[in-house]
């Protein structure tokens, strides 16, 4: 009987430790997503371009960050001006590594800076990872 108890107690301890780690991980994930939400919505204001707007200049929140035709027009002719803003909610374009590189270095997955009006961000890696976590949470 002692042997049976000694086997079950460590297993129970491991189970409790795994549960505690998972809870801590979900809190960390939650704060990462919240940080990304803050950057996307309040700092970089990604919705200004990556969300369709109505005639009154209001965001159509049912299309939040789903991309669409570029609504910001250049004041003079720019050949590389983007015509369509990509969807970034749920799954931004490219791989995670390419998206992080775009946000940290200003270099897109094509190896060049993004077409205007997309700015060339120089975020910290931590901020870029938070942005990616938030966008992926929008499934």
59-67 contact pairs (CB < 8 A, 24+): 64/89, 64/138, 65/40, 65/89, 65/135, 65/138
Mean pLDDT of 22-31: 62
Q: What is the predicted pLDDT for the residue at 26?
A: 53
Residue-level pLDDT at 40: 97
Q: Which fold, 31-137?
A: Cytochrome Bc1 Complex; Chain D, domain 2 (1.10.760)
- Please give the pLDDT value at position 10: 55
pLDDT in tens, 39-59: 999 999 999 899 988 777 777
State the pLDDT at residue 71: 84
pLDDT tens digits, 86-129: 999 998 999 999 999 999 999 999 999 999 999 999 999 999 99
CA angle, residues 126, 106, 34, in degrees to nearest 5 = 30
Q: Per-domain residue ranges for the chain? A: 31-137
């Amino acid at each position: 009987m002692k042997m049976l108890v000694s086997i079950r107690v460590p297993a129970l301890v491991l189970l409790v430790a795994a549960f505690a780690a998972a809870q801590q991980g979900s809190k960390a994930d939650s704060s990462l997503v919240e940080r990304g939400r803050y950057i996307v919505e309040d700092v970089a204001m990604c919705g200004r371009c990556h969300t369709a707007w109505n005639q009154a200049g209001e965001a159509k929140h049912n299309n939040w960050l789903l991309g669409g035709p570029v609504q910001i027009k250049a004041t003079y002719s720019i050949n590389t001006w983007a015509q369509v803003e990509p969807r970034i909610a749920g799954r931004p374009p490219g791989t995670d590594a390419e998206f992080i590189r775009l946000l940290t270095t200003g270099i897109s997955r094509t190896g060049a800076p993004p077409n205007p009006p997309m700015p060339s961000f120089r975020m910290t890696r931590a901020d870029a990872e938070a942005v990616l976590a938030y966008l992926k949470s929008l499934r």
